[in-house]
């Protein structure tokens, strides 16, 4: 059976103040949000929803959120995670603004020894060159990247996989759902048998329709909505401001 997915948006980060902050870290409020998420997940997940793999966007705000939200899975003595945590560039944010562009992983990875960076795409953090076409800010590239993400997850042997990613990518390319900071949604694959000729779709659990933390909008959007058709059209627009 394909895995159940727990899709999590990072907690509040410094780019809520300015989009010009490169690869921003969590704010003090963001750290509080991630800690609250940790307390919630420790009550909600044990048992049938124990994550067997945690995939993390390599942006600082996601690495920090995963570290705090899943702190109970990190061994205090060794500093290693009891469940594999893997940095994956395919789950990074859409645009190439400073706040949505990552940092050289050799500068970041030493601060997160519990997260595996060994399989990170070597092109990262490039998002604009021909070699980085997978990460271009266009509708075709983003929807294609989302499908690649889902196909990869669908083929995994784990029963439950958690992903710490970004609002715009998950909303516009993966699920069509809004995610507030440090909120999550749970999905199963719509077609358990799989059909390689059709795009993979997800079906959300009813109990997370407003987000697992109850913070997110129930209204959905059409996948691809608002994404630029070409790079020349890709003038990053400010995300619609919603209450944090």
Query: Which pLDDT does position 146 carry in this prediction?
Result: 99
Q: Which residue, among 139, 132, 152, 159, has the nearest Cα to 52 in the 3D structure?
A: 159
Residue 239 in domain = no
What is the spatial distance between Cα 210 and Cα 204, in angstroms, rounded to a whole number? 11
CB 169 within 8 A of CB 91: yes
Range of the domain at 20: 4-233
- CATH code of 142's domain: 3.40.50.1240
Indicate whether 243 belongs to any domain. no
Query: For the chain, how many structural domains are there in total?
Result: 1
d(CA 49, CA 65): 19
For residue 240, is it within any domain?
no
139 occurs within a structural domain: yes
Model pLDDT, residue 196: 67
pLDDT value for 65: 99
Is 241 domain-assigned? no
In a domain? residue 102: yes
> What per-residue confidence (pLDDT) applies to 210?
98
Q: Within 10 Å of residue 238's Cβ, how many Cβ atoms?
A: 7
Q: Using alpha carbons, select from 162, 211, 204, 209 the residue that is nearest to residue 184.
A: 211
Catalytic residue numbers, as ranges: 10, 166
Consecutive sets of 10 residues in the chain, 244 residues long: mean pLDDT of each? 98 85 96 98 90 99 99 93 98 96 98 98 98 98 98 97 99 98 98 76 97 97 95 59 43
Q: Decide if 244 is inside a domain.
A: no
Determine if residue 135 is left, alpha or beta; phi over 0 gives left, psi from -120 to 50 gives alpha, anything else beta. alpha
Rg of the chain on CA atoms, in Å: 17
pTM: 0.94
Report if residue 238 sits inside a domain: no
* CA separation for the pair 41, 212 (Å, rounded): 9
φ, ψ of residue 28 to 5 degrees: the values are: -55, -40
């Amino acid at each position: 059976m394909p895995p159940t997915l727990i899709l999590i948006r990072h907690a509040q980060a410094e780019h809520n103040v300015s989009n010009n902050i490169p690869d921003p870290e969590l704010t003090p409020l963001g750290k509080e949000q991630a800690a609250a998420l940790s307390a919630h997940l420790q009550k909600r997940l044990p048992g049938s929803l124990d994550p067997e793999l945690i995939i993390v966007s390599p942006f600082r705000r996601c690495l920090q959120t995963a570290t705090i939200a899943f702190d109970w899975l990190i061994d205090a003595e060794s500093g290693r995670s009891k469940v594999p945590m893997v940095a994956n560039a395919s789950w990074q944010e859409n645009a190439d603004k400073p706040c949505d562009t990552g940092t050289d992983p050799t500068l970041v990875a030493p601060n997160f020894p519990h997260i595996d960076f060994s399989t990170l795409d070597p092109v990262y953090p490039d998002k604009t060159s021909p070699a980085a076409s997978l990460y271009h800010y266009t509708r075709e590239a983003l929807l294609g990247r989302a499908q690649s993400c889902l196909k990869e997850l669908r083929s995994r042997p784990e029963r439950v996989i958690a992903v710490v990613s970004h609002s715009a990518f998950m909303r516009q390319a993966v699920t069509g759902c809004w995610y507030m900071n440090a909120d999550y949604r749970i999905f199963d694959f719509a077609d358990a048998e799989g059909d390689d000729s059709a795009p993979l779709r997800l079906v959300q659990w009813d109990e997370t329709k407003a987000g697992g933390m109850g913070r997110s909008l129930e209204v959905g959007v059409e996948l691809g909505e608002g994404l630029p058709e070409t790079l020349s059209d890709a003038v990053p627009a400010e995300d619609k401001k919603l209450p944090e």
